[in-house]
Each structure stands twice: as structure tokens, then as C-alpha cells.
């Protein structure tokens, strides 16, 4: 039996390819694979199989798989879904490494299709399958095209170092042709589509080892096996090969919420954000980013900071670029004194303005020597981390000269050099890109590329090693929805500090509890109904803050009436709780999803949902989150400054918050499937040295 890696290698670099159901008519889809293999220079053996043809072009055609003169490495199966599995079985019997199944009509069509897909998998035995419903693969490195994509009608494709794995066949053709038109060189493109067997992660893993591939671009519909994906993406990161992913389904509604708010906020798409972030995968926000970012990363140049020099010979376009960079946290400082002097020494025209950025050298667009001098000065400047060159209409006069001048300067540093082509001039952009200067037709693309380069240089690797913490016994907790007091007892068991409280049933009980608790803190208490059915107490008038031993009794009677009127049940039990003042309210929750278990942190307690200021991390395979990861969650929040002493506010006890996040994550890890839902909303973070307190809790146990 072939080992898996070996089978993928044979699939991508077959010495022989059988095409089952090949047609002699190259205009038919079934005629394309043979035609494209030949057209694009395949050097191996092409073996068409079709009982109704003697020859296909100059190739002998075989009646069936059994009569093939050699065992093909790969079989491209062009038969429809009702017969594809028969060919797959025969290919497997002959010992082929893999079959590429193009037919549709499988799991994408419903239950009957899914059954057919299982039959197909069974028929393959140990042989690997790409597809079904795939358009195949294109190995540009080795001039091997195993695909029916109409994009292969193009005669020439630039060969480069970007590997593409797409879960859509149509997108493979789209990226192939768009890249070619822009002078972007690709290495391998694979469409995995239905993924009955080989999937995204298999090819990420393979491309991480592929010498010809430096950057991996993914078009993702769904990650079927998160653990495998994680391992493969981290392998690529370790190999120094950035992975860039465009994921569709961004508009999907949040996962259906049950009791907690966390579910609603932890939408499926946010889970992908967390998965990508923790594996160093750069997320392409738009489809065009999926080429724009890889082409910049494939230069291998490193962005070490956020200061960008913009060299322009045309005012407006430079401003367009600097404006968009500014919106996304980049700086465009004016040249320092030495750099300005070097630029001034080059100057021959009086129009040039050199004390600002964009740096406007009007004549340089026409004079390669001036351009070269200006680029050298800017790349040498310690004030800049990257250079964006604006190509204006004047630059179109002699594109070769201009591209050559820029290219000459590239070896001087490894700072990124990008081009923004202002007029519509795709051929100039392609020329620059091929010379190692990624060229873009939109200012937003320059920003996206630079942003990704910065992110890629900052990923330090996974943070997976941490203890699970001591094992906590929870046998005394009953399954089902816990009431607030019980939920907090569970949190406390895992080491989370909770507000002190007493359960009461009567006015006198409440008064006694208030007198006892008010002594400790703000002098005030909070009164709440206690029920495992009513989880959102405020909604029914079941929370009153700022009470004292004197006021709590009357308030309890009033609350009992109000809650009964609104919720239809008479509250039997109440909580009297110390009132936690002077802190910041956060939500800390857990969400389970096919991608994994996520911990969510959000600012604002109940208003978190409104402000959408939340961040998530997936739990590692074992144990909870590390302190570093927990801290990064806090600093990730848009409103992190509120915890960090914004405008004279006292700094919050971030250490204690980190402790709480780690403890909460360990609880989620230890209880596993036993913990259906868990949320602390709010957890109140007090000023430095005073800790945090969980004041409300929701828990559902299995
Ligand atoms: P709900 O079931 O409506 O979520 P909570 O117990 O979270 O009820 O209380 C609602 C709000 O009341 C909290 O978001 C917080 O602002 C305030 N609150 C509740 N308990 C306390 C407390 N012990 N100290 C200070 N504020 C509290
Ligand atoms: Mg609450």
C-alpha cells in the first residue's frame, strides 16, 4: 500500500495519467484533460480510456482500465456519478495512487448524493481520491495539468511560488487566470471540492514540504477536520511558509443561542477568526486579497514596522495610498534630514516637493536614473520600513525602463517594495510583478498586502504548552441548568473569585444578610431572584442594586410581585449579594462548535453584544489557555484602554483577569462535553491589586 505522503506526491507529479471517459472532441469537457495535458507540455505517459474510440489525436485509446499497458499513477475519471465508482474500483485494483473524480451529484445534492459519495469512497479502498465534484489540479512547477478547467485555454502561465488549495473548482480557474493576467506566478493549484478523502489539510501539509512553494493561499468553504488543519497550518508556519485564507460564509448568523449570550456572539465565522489567528493563518478579507496578499508575501521581503515611504510623480494617487494606509494604522512620515538631502541632490526639476510624504518627484517617472536614486535613498533611510511606488500615467511611457530601475534597487535591502499603478495599465502591473515588485490597481490592496506582511512577521508560533491545572471534583453538581448561586460555586471551585452572597427566602433573612455583607464592601448590596429557570433576571425585574439593610426588605416584597407579574412564576428564593463597585464589567463565556471549544471575552457585560467588542480563542488539544494567550485576549479588545488606565482611570487588575480567564478555560477543558454552556456575565474587574469578581453565572451541565 502506498503511504499517504507518497500518494500525494504521485498525484501531483504522476509519471503516467489515465483519462477514463476521454473524448476525442477537445471542445467537450471530456475532451479537455487530454488536450490540456498535451498543450501545457506534459512529459509523462497519457493513457486515454474509452471503449468507443481507437485513437485520441496521436494517442492510442484503451478499451478499459484492465487493458492499460502500465499501472497509471493517476486516473482522471470523467464518467458521471452513476458509473464513476466502477472506474475508481478498477483503478484501485490496478494499483493507481489516486483518482481525480470530476462528476457532480454527490454530497452537494443531498442524501442520495451523500450515499453515492460513501460508495465512491468504499470503491477506492486504499487508493486516494481528489474530489468528487472537483475540477482537478494544476502543477505549474512541473507543467502537469490534470484538470478540465477552461482557464487552461490560456497558453501561458507564469510559474512562481504561490500554492493554491481551493474547495471550489470554479475558483481554481478564476485564480489561475487572474494570477496569469497579473504576472503572478503560482506553483500548484488543487481543487479539493467535496473532500470525500483528500482535504485542505493534506495539501497544506504537502505544500509545506514543497520546495517550489513559499506561500499557501486557501479558498475555504468549511474546515472538515480542525485538528488536522491546525497541525498542517502550524507545520507551514514553522517551515516559514505563510498561509493566507479567504473563507466564505462571513455573513452567516451567529450560532443559535441557547441560554447564554456567548452563543449568539460566537458566530461560526468568528470561530474561523480564532482558528486562523491561533495557527498564524492570515485571513484575506476580500477575494482580491487572496492574490494581493500572497504575491506580496511571496517576495520573501520582511516588514519590520509600520512606516511607509510613498514615492510618487503624481499627487492625487499618492494621497489615495497614504490616506488608506493611515486608516489602517500605518504611518507615512516625512523624510528625515539625511534622506531629504539625498533626494534634493537628485533633483533637477523645480516641481519636486521633498519635505513631505508622499514624496513627489515629478520628473523621476520619466528618468530612470533619478528614480533609481530616489528609491535608493528611501530604502536606505532608517525612517522607513517599506516603500510604495506610485506609477502614474507618465510611468507608462517606458515601462521596461521604469521596471528595470526599480528592480535594480531590490537587492539593496529586504524591505518590501510595492507598486500602485494609478492608470488602467494591467500590462505594466504584470511587468512589475514579474520583476519582483508586486503591483496593485487599488490603494486598499497595497494596505492589505502590507498589513499581512506585518502580521506574518509577528506570528510567534502556537502557545500550546500549559498545564491543565489540578483536577477538580464536581460530582456533587447535578446535570441541567444551574441557578446563579450554584453556577458561581462551580466557578469558585476552579479558582474564580466570586461576589459573596447569601441565599434568603424571607424579608428578615434578607435584612440579616444585607447587614452582614454590607459591612465588607461598598456598604451596599444587590438583591436578585434565584432560579434555575429564569437566567436573564433583569428582563423580569429580578435585579435591584444599591440596597442597604434598611431598604432590602421592602424591595424584596416589591420584586416578588413584579417578577410574578412579568414571568408568571412566584420567586421562592433570593440572593443578597455584596455590591461590587468601581470596576469594569466584562463577559467571559464558552462556546462549543464543530471547530472546537472557544473561550470568549467581551467588554461591557450585557452591552458586549451591542458593541460587538469581543474576542475568542480556541482551546488547545489539551488543557486550558496559557497566560500569554489570556492576556492577548484582553489587549485585543477595542476598549482595552478602559482597563489600561484610559484618561486617568485607575488601571484595572489585569493579572487577576488573566487568572480568571485561565481558570475558566481550564474548567471548560476539564469538564469537556460535560459542560454544555458556561458564562460569567458580568465578571467585574476591579482596580489593580483588588482582583476580579464574578457577579452572575450561567451553567448548563450535561
Ligand atoms: P442578569 O440575569 O439580568 O444578567 P445580573 O446578575 O448579571 O443579572 O445583574 C444585572 C446587572 O446588575 C449586572 O450586569 C451588573 O451591572 C449589576 N450587578 C449585578 N450584581 C452585581 C453586584 N454584585 N455588584 C455590582 N453590580 C451588580
Ligand atoms: Mg448577567
Q: Whose CA is nearest to atom 7 of ligand 1?
A: 696
CA of 698 to the centre of ligand 1 (A): 12
Q: Whose CA is nearest to atom 23 of ligand 1?
A: 579
Cβ–ligand 1 distance for 277 under 6 Å, the answer no
Q: CA 431, CA 181: separation in Å to the nearest integer?
A: 10
Q: What is the mean pLDDT of residues 294-322?
A: 94
Cβ–ligand 1 distance for 526 under 6 Å, the answer yes
The dihedral through the CA atoms of 124, 128, 134, 137 has a sign that is negative
CA of 389 to the centre of ligand 1 (A): 55
Tell me the pLDDT tens digit for each residue of 521-551.
678 999 999 998 888 899 999 999 999 999 9
Write down the residue that cell numbers 511606488 correspond to. 389
Q: CA 585, CA 681: separation in Å to the nearest integer?
A: 8
Q: What band does 2 get if pLDDT is binned at 50, 70 and 90?
A: low
- Which atom of ligand 1 lies closest to the CA of 581? 25
Q: How far is CA 688 from the centre of its chain?
A: 34
Contact 48, 106 (CB under 8 A): no
CA of 681 to the centre of ligand 1 (A): 8
The three three-digit cell numbers of residue 647, written as one number: 484618561
Contact 688, 650 (CB under 8 A): yes
Q: CA 403, CA 436: separation in Å to the nearest integer?
A: 9
Catalogue the E-assigned strands of 392-434. Answer: 417-421
More confident residue, 269 or 209: 209
- Which atom of ligand 1 lies closest to the CA of 536? 2
Q: Which of 77-91, 221-235, 292-306, 390-404 has the lowest mean pLDDT?
A: 390-404
Give the ligand whose atoms come closest to the C-alpha of residue 534.
Answer: 1
**CA distances from residue 16 to 42, 251, 315 in whole angstroms, order as listed:** 10, 44, 56
Q: What percent of the chain has pLDDT over 70?
A: 93
CB atoms < 10 A from the CB of 48, how many?
26
Q: Is 543 strand, coil or helix?
A: strand
Contact 358, 321 (CB under 8 A): yes
CA of 646 to the centre of ligand 1 (A): 24
Quick check: 264 pLDDT over 90?
Answer: no
**pLDDT value, residue 187:** 98
For residue 526, give every residue at least 6 positions away whose Cβ sits within 8 Å of its Cβ, in sequence order, or none: 499, 543, 544, 545, 546, 547, 575, 576, 577, 578, 579, 695
- Which of 526, 562, 577, 691, when mutated, tests ligand 1's pocket best, judged by the most ligand atoms within 8 Å of its CB? 526
Cβ–ligand 1 distance for 583 under 6 Å, the answer no
Q: What band does 658 get if pLDDT is binned at 50, 70 and 90?
A: very high
Q: CA 429, CA 426: separation in Å to the nearest integer?
A: 5
Contact 100, 190 (CB under 8 A): no
- Which atom of ligand 1 lies closest to the CA of 499? 23
End-to-end CA distance of the chain: 43
**pLDDT value, residue 568:** 92
**pLDDT value, residue 618:** 95
User: What DSSP letter does each residue of 556-585 carry, written as one string?
Assistant: HHHHHHHHHHHHSS---EEEEEE---S-EE
Cβ–ligand 1 distance for 683 under 6 Å, the answer no
Q: Give the CA dihedral 106, 110, 111, 116, nearest 10 degrees.
A: -10
**pLDDT value, residue 1:** 45
CA of 66 to the centre of ligand 2 (A): 69
**pLDDT value, residue 320:** 95
Q: Is 691 left (phi over 0), alpha (psi -120 to 50) or beta?
A: left
- Which atom of ligand 1 lies closest to the CA of 484? 6
Contact 563, 541 (CB under 8 A): yes
The mean pLDDT value of the chain amounts to: 92
Q: CA 542, CA 292: separation in Å to the nearest integer?
A: 54
Contact 201, 172 (CB under 8 A): no
Q: CA 630, CA 281: separation in Å to the nearest integer?
A: 19
Q: What percent of the chain has pLDDT over 90?
A: 82
Quick check: 352 pLDDT over 70?
Answer: no
**Among candidate residues 335, 272, 331, the one with its CA nearest the CA of residue 306:** 331
Q: CA 345, CA 559: separation in Å to the nearest integer?
A: 81
Tell me the pLDDT tens digit for each residue of 416-475.
999 999 999 999 999 999 999 999 999 999 999 999 999 998 887 766 556 667 889 999
Q: CA 11, CA 75: separation in Å to the nearest integer?
A: 9
Q: What band does 398 get if pLDDT is binned at 50, 70 and 90?
A: confident
Cβ–ligand 1 distance for 197 under 6 Å, the answer no
- Which atom of ligand 1 lies closest to the CA of 537? 2
**pLDDT value, residue 255:** 47
Q: What is the mean pLDDT of residues 17-38?
A: 95
Amino acid at each position: 500500500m502506498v503511504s499517504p505522503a507518497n500518494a500525494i506526491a504521485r498525484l501531483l507529479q504522476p509519471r503516467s495519467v489515465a483519462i477514463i471517459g476521454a473524448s476525442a472532441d477537445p471542445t467537450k469537457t471530456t475532451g479537455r484533460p487530454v488536450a490540456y495535458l498535451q498543450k501545457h507540455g506534459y512529459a509523462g505517459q497519457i493513457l486515454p480510456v474509452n471503449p468507443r474510440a481507437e485513437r485520441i489525436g496521436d494517442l492510442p485509446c484503451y478499451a478499459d482500465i484492465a487493458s492499460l499497458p502500465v499501472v497509471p499513477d493517476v486516473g482522471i475519471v470523467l464518467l458521471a456519478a452513476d458509473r464513476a465508482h466502477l472506474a475508481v474500483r478498477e483503478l484501485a485494483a490496478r494499483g493507481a495512487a489516486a483518482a481525480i473524480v470530476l462528476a457532480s451529484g454527490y454530497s452537494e445534492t443531498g442524501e442520495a448524493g451523500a450515499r453515492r459519495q460513501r460508495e465512491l469512497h468504499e470503491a477506492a479502498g486504499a487508493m486516494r481520491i481528489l474530489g468528487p465534484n472537483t475540477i482537478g489540479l494544476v502543477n505549474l512547477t512541473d507543467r502537469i495539468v490534470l484538470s478540465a478547467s477552461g482557464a487552461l485555454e490560456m497558453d501561458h502561465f507564469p510559474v512562481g511560488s504561490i500554492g493554491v488549495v481551493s474547495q471550489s473548482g470554479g475558483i481554481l480557474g478564476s485564480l489561475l487566470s487572474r494570477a496569469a493576467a497579473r504576472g503572478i506566478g503560482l506553483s500548484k493549484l488543487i481543487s479539493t471540492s467535496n473532500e470525500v478523502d483528500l482535504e485542505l489539510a493534506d495539501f497544506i501539509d504537502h505544500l509545506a514540504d514543497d520546495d517550489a512553494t513559499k506561500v499557501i493561499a486557501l479558498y475555504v468553504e468549511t474546515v472538515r477536520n480542525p485538528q488536522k488543519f491546525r497541525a498542517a497550518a502550524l507545520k507551514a508556519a514553522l517551515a516559514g511558509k505563510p498561509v493566507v485564507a479567504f473563507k466564505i460564509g462571513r455573513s452567516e448568523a451567529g450560532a443559535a443561542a441557547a441560554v447564554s449570550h456567548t452563543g449568539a456572539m460566537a458566530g461560526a465565522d468568528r470561530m474561523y477568526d480564532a482558528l486562523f489567528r491561533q495557527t498564524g493563518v492570515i485571513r484575506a478579507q476580500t477575494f482580491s486579497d487572496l492574490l494581493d496578499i500572497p504575491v506580496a508575501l511571496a517576495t520573501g521581503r520582511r516588514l519590520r514596522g509600520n512606516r511607509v515611504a510613498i514615492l510618487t510623480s503624481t499627487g492625487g494617487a499618492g494621497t489615495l495610498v497614504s490616506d488608506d494606509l493611515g486608516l489602517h494604522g500605518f504611518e507615512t512620515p516625512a523624510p528625515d534630514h539625511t534622506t531629504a538631502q539625498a533626494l534634493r541632490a537628485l533633483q533637477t526639476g523645480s516641481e519636486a516637493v521633498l519635505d513631505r510624504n508622499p514624496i513627489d518627484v515629478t520628473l523621476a517617472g520619466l528618468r530612470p536614473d533619478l528614480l533609481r536614486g530616489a528609491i535608493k535613498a528611501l530604502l536606505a533611510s532608517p525612517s522607513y520600513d517599506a516603500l510604495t511606488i506610485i506609477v502614474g500615467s507618465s510611468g507608462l511611457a517606458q515601462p521596461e525602463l521604469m521596471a528595470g530601475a526599480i528592480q535594480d534597487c531590490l537587492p539593496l535591502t529586504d524591505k518590501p517594495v510595492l507598486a500602485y499603478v494609478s492608470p488602467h495599465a494591467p500590462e505594466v502591473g504584470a511587468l512589475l510583478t514579474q520583476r519582483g515588485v508586486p503591483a496593485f490597481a487599488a490603494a486598499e490592496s497595497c494596505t492589505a498586502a502590507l498589513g499581512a506582511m506585518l502580521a506574518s512577521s509577528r506570528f510567534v508560533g502556537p502557545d500550546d504548552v500549559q498545564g491543565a491545572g489540578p483536577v477538580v471534583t464536581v460530582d456533587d453538581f447535578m446535570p441541567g441548568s444551574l441557578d446563579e448561586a450554584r453556577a458561581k460555586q462551580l466557578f469558585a471551585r476552579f479558582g474564580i473569585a466570586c461576589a459573596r452572597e447569601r441565599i434568603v427566602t424571607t424579608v428578615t433573612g434578607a435584612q440579616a444578610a444585607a447587614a452582614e455583607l454590607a459591612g465588607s464592601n461598598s456598604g451596599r448590596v444587590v438583591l436578585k431572584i434565584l432560579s434555575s429557570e429564569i437566567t436573564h433576571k433583569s428582563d423580569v425585574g429580578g435585579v435591584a442594586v444599591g440596597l442597604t439593610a434598611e431598604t432590602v426588605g421592602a424591595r424584596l416584597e416589591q420584586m416578588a410581585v413584579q417578577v410574578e407579574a412579568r414571568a408568571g412564576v412566584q420567586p421562592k428564593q433570593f440572593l443578597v449579594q455584596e455590591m461590587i463597585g468601581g470596576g469594569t464589567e466584562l463577559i467571559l463565556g464558552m462556546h462549543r462548535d464543530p471547530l472546537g471549544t472557544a473561550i470568549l471575552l467581551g467588554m461591557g457585560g450585557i452591552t458586549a453584544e451591542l458593541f460587538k467588542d469581543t474576542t475568542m480563542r480556541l482551546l488547545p488539544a489539551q488543557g486550558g489557555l496559557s497566560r500569554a494567550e489570556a492576556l492577548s485576549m484582553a489587549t485585543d479588545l477595542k476598549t482595552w484602554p478602559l482597563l489600561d488606565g484610559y484618561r486617568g482611570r485607575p488601571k484595572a487588575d489585569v493579572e487577576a483577569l488573566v487568572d480568571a480567564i485561565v481558570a475558566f478555560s481550564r474548567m471548560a477543558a476539564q469538564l469537556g462535553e460535560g459542560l454544555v454552556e458556561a458564562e460569567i456575565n458580568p465578571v467585574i474587574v476591579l482596580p489593580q491589586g483588588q482582583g476580579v469578581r464574578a457577579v452572575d453565572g450561567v451553567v448548563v451541565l450535561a
